[in-house]
Amino acid sequence: MSTEAKQNENVQPQVAPLSPIDEHTKFEDVLAMLMGTFVLSFALNLLQFSGIMTGGTAGLALLIHYITGLKFGTIFFLINIPFYYFAYKKMGIALVIKTFIAVGLLSLFSEVTPQFFHIKDLNPFYSTIVANILMGVSFLMLFRHRSSLGGINLLALFIQSQYKIAAGKVQMGIDISILAASAFFVGWHVLGVSILGAVILNFIIAMNHKPSRYIA
């Protein structure tokens, strides 16, 4: 073996040192919660205008809103209260605080947004697709900044962190169950379109928020 070959054999590949985790700043967390909840409030208003259902805690709040006529924002805020204790015990006070702020912002934006626009004619199929894509992007923005919208989101994140089951898959199963229960109160056409929306939403989350792919 030549001298050059021996030298090449002994050469070790250069591996770049691992960089420390680049965590989000508090300012970035605040902006993410503001933008995420604002976009989500717009998406939920599209669903309300069309009379379409969704899953999760928001779906429960929408269902109660359709049945009783009470304001969605108020219902959504109240439903989430019991989940704060669960989050505090299982996932820490930081997530509880961020979730409380996010839920409060969404409740506020959901009541303010309709004051600035009103849609008279909106195709339910189209609005379902657009709304659930926007919801998926909003959830991802909140998840990346270690926040959530309480309720089912918190449960899905907890199961993902403890059992390595993708949050999107967990939420998909729960969402379908909630939508199935709403069949007693909405028509089959609305239910079918709503299930399509839940599939779109949770596919986005499952595809973009895998526990093995992201550090934060």
Question: Are 159 and 141 contacting, i.e. CB atoms less than 8 angstroms apart?
Answer: no
Question: Domain limits of the chain?
Answer: 25-208
Residue that the structure tokens 């599209």 belong to = 46
Number of H helices, E strands in the chain: 9, 0
**pLDDT tens figures, 147-165:** 777 677 677 767 777 788 8
Exposure string of 131-150, with b = 16+ CB inside 10 Å and e = fewer, is bbebbbbbbbbbbbbbbbbb
For the cut 70, the answer to whether the pLDDT of residue 183 exceeds it is: yes
What amino acid is encoded at 50 in this protein? S
Question: Are 21 and 214 contacting, i.e. CB atoms less than 8 angstroms apart?
Answer: no
Average pLDDT value for residue range 189-199 = 85
pTM flag (> 0.75) = no
**pLDDT tens figures, 84-140:** 776 776 667 777 788 788 888 988 998 888 888 777 788 889 999 999 999 999 988
**pLDDT tens figures, 100-110:** 888 889 889 98
Closest CA to 83 of 68, 102, 69: 102
